Amino acid sequence: MADVHHLLLQHGLEEARRLQNIDKNSRACVDAAHEVLCDEQQAIGIAHAGFAMAALPHKKPKTAVWERDGGPVKLLIESGLDANKEPVGIPYGSVARLILLYLQTQAVRNKSRQIELGASMNAWLSAMNLSIGGKTYNLVREQSRRISRCRLTFFRTDAGNQYVSNGAFVRDAIFPLDPTNSEQQSLWLEVVTLDESFYNSLIQHPLPLREVAIRQISGRSMAIDLYIWLAYRLHVLTMPIKVTWAALKSQFGPDYRELRFFRRDIIPSLNLALSVYPEAIVTIDDRQGLTLFPSPAPVKERSRRLL
C-alpha cells in the first residue's frame, strides 16, 4: 500500500487509479487512501486497546457464547436474554463495531460514562457515518439490542498471572424503536450510560484512531479489526517482527478450516486497512506472512496527549 500512497502524492487520484490497473478492491484502496491523505480535520476516534487482540465476530454466531483468543488477551462474549429468557444474540459485523466505536469515542472525549445520543436517531446514525434508511436502521436496532444485553469477560495473562475482568458494554439498554411510530419515538433514550468496569478500563487503555480511516472502511469488519490491530502494534515496535499466516489465522480467522482460504480472504481487507494507515510499514509475503516494522502511530503524539 506504500506504492498507492506514493502514486497519489506524485500523480493524483485519477492517474493513481489508472496506474494501479484497478479492480474493485484496488479502486477501494486507492479511493480510501486518497481520502485519508486529504483529511485536514484530523478527527480522532477511540477504541479500547483490548479490541486490538480480541474482537467481535464478523458473522452471526450460531452459539450463545463467543470466544476470541488473542494470545495475551482472551475475550468471552455471552448473549443476554430477553424478557422471555431467550438469547438475543451476540453483536457482530461492522455495524456493531461502529456503534461501539462511537460510544467509546464519546466517552473518552467527554470523560464521562454518559453518552449523549442526540435529539434523534438520525443524528446518531449520522455521527457513525451510516446513511439513514429502513435497512440500516434495522441493522442498528438489532445490533444495539445485542450490545445492550451481552456480558463480557476479559482474560489477560501477564508475567505468569491471569487477570479476569467481568462486565458489559453498557449499563442502560439502548433500543432504537420503530421510527414510523411517533409514540415509540418519544421513548428513545437520549443518554446511554456505559458499564462502569468497561468505562474505567477504556479510560486506562484508549487506542486513538483516525476517524477518517474508520469512515473509509466502515463496511468491512475485518478491515476495521486489522486497522485497530496495526494501530496498536506498529508504533510500539523497536525492531521488525514476522507474523506468519498461521498466527494471523489463529487471531483473525479461527473458523477457517484451511489456511489458504483464510489467506485469500484476508489480503483484500489487509490492503484496505493499510491504505487508510499511510504511516504503516508492512510487507506482505504470499507464502510466509507479514513483516511489521516500527512505524508512527496513525494519530500524532501531540493529538494523543489531548485525550
Q: What pLDDT is recorded for position 20?
A: 66
Contact 81, 149 (CB under 8 A): yes
Q: How many CB atoms lie within 10 A of CB 211?
A: 19
Q: What pLDDT is recorded for position 189?
A: 58
Q: What pLDDT is recorded for position 192?
A: 86
pLDDT above 70 as % of the chain: 86
pLDDT above 90 as % of the chain: 50
Q: Work out the average pLDDT over 27-41.
A: 90
Tell me the CATH number for domain 220-301: 3.30.1370
C-alpha cell at 126: 449520522
Q: What is the mean pLDDT of the chain?
A: 85
Position with higher pLDDT, 159 vs 297 = 297
First to last CA, the chain: 29
Q: Work out the average pLDDT over 117-136.
A: 69
Domain with CATH 3.30.1370 in the chain: 220-301
Q: Work out the average pLDDT over 11-28.
A: 78
Contact 108, 203 (CB under 8 A): yes
- Give the model confidence (pLDDT) of 71-121 as tens digits: 777 889 999 998 899 999 999 999 999 999 999 999 999 999 998 775 555
| Least confident residue range of 36-40, 146-150, 164-168 | 164-168
Q: What pLDDT is recorded for position 68?
A: 84
Q: What pLDDT is recorded for position 5?
A: 86
Q: What pLDDT is recorded for position 229?
A: 96
- Give the model confidence (pLDDT) of 139-149 as tens digits: 888 898 899 89
Q: What pLDDT is recorded for position 2?
A: 55
pTM greater than 0.85: yes
- Give the model confidence (pLDDT) of 234-262 as tens digits: 999 999 999 999 999 988 988 898 999 99
Q: What pLDDT is recorded for position 60?
A: 93
Q: What pLDDT is recorded for position 290?
A: 97
Residue type at position 37? L
| Least confident residue range of 5-14, 39-48, 226-235 | 5-14
Q: Work out the average pLDDT over 162-179.
A: 75
> Which pLDDT band, with edges at 50, 70 and 90, does 183 fall under?
very low
Q: Work out the average pLDDT over 206-231.
A: 95
Q: Work out the average pLDDT over 128-135.
A: 73
Q: What pLDDT is recorded for position 178?
A: 56
Contacts of 189 (CB under 8 A, 6+ apart): 117, 172, 173, 174, 175
